[in-house]
Amino acid sequence: MPDPSAARGCLGRLPTSGGRGPAAAVGIVVLALSLVACGGSRKSSSTTTTPTKPTSTTPAYVRPIHATLVGENHAPTANTNWTYSITVTDARGQKLSGTETTQYLYNGVVVGTEKPVNVRFKNGYYHDTIEFPGAAVGHQLSVWVVVKTRDGSGSAAWWITVVTR
């Protein structure tokens, strides 16, 4: 059977019938016969090929890092410690080290930033506690973390509504 990649070099781009009827089908048969004749001036020889793994010419895009934020619950109590944790991995699942900054959003607008900023974490894990003030009671907020690693940056969010005791 002739190698289709050799045909591309001999004839260029191959036309398709596109449902145009018997005339197009005859044209394809003539084209197929010319493919066989394309390398016909060579003497026959046998070659042995070793199968290889197929490779993709267009790699799928994979986010460089994955950041996950998990809070203790979605209803922290005002003036009481509330815990959260962050896990950060690369696309292969390897734990990454870097820095994190925690911010508080109300309707998508940053209304506060945890101090200090750019806190270091190691081995893909960070754990901290927050105490929300009484003024936050009843408001739906998002706890937003921005992480930076050698492989890139990412973010994750966790919504909360602060309650009273």
* Strands lying side by side in the sheet with 125-131: 65-71, 81-90, 125-131
Question: In this prediction, what percent of the chain has a pLDDT beyond 90?
Answer: 60
Predicted confidence at residue 161, as pLDDT, reads 97
Question: Tokens 């046998």 — which residue?
Answer: 46
Nearest to 66 by CA among 116, 17, 124: 124
Stretch 132-152: mean pLDDT: 95
Query: Average pLDDT for residues 51-71, to the nearest whole number?
Result: 73
Q: Is the pLDDT of residue 145 over 90?
A: yes
Are 114 and 102 contacting, i.e. CB atoms less than 8 angstroms apart? yes
> In angstroms, what is the C-alpha Rg of the chain?
31
Question: Which run of H or E residues covers position 96?
Answer: none
90-102 per-position pLDDT tens digit: 999 999 999 999 9
Q: From CA 70, how far away is CA 160, in angstroms rounded?
A: 11
Between 159 and 23, the higher pLDDT residue:
159
Amino acid at 114: E
Contacts of 139 (CB under 8 A, 6+ apart): 106, 161, 162
Residue 64's pLDDT band (cuts 50, 70, 90): confident
d(CA 137, CA 160): 10
**Which helix (H) or strand (E) covers residue 10, if one does?**
helix 4-11
Write down the mean pLDDT value for the chain: 77
- Provide mean pLDDT across the span 133-161: 95
E strand spans, the chain: 65-71, 81-90, 98-106, 109-113, 119-121, 125-131, 140-149, 152-161
Residue 28 predicted with pLDDT over 80: no
Structure confidence by residue, pLDDT tens digits, 42-57: 454 455 555 656 555 6
| Mean pLDDT value of segment 57-73 | 80
The yes-or-no verdict on residue 36 having pLDDT over 50 is no
Cβ proximity of 123 and 147 under 8 Å? no
Contact 149, 96 (CB under 8 A): yes
> Domains in the chain and their CATH numbers?
4-38 (no CATH), 65-161 (2.60.40.1930)
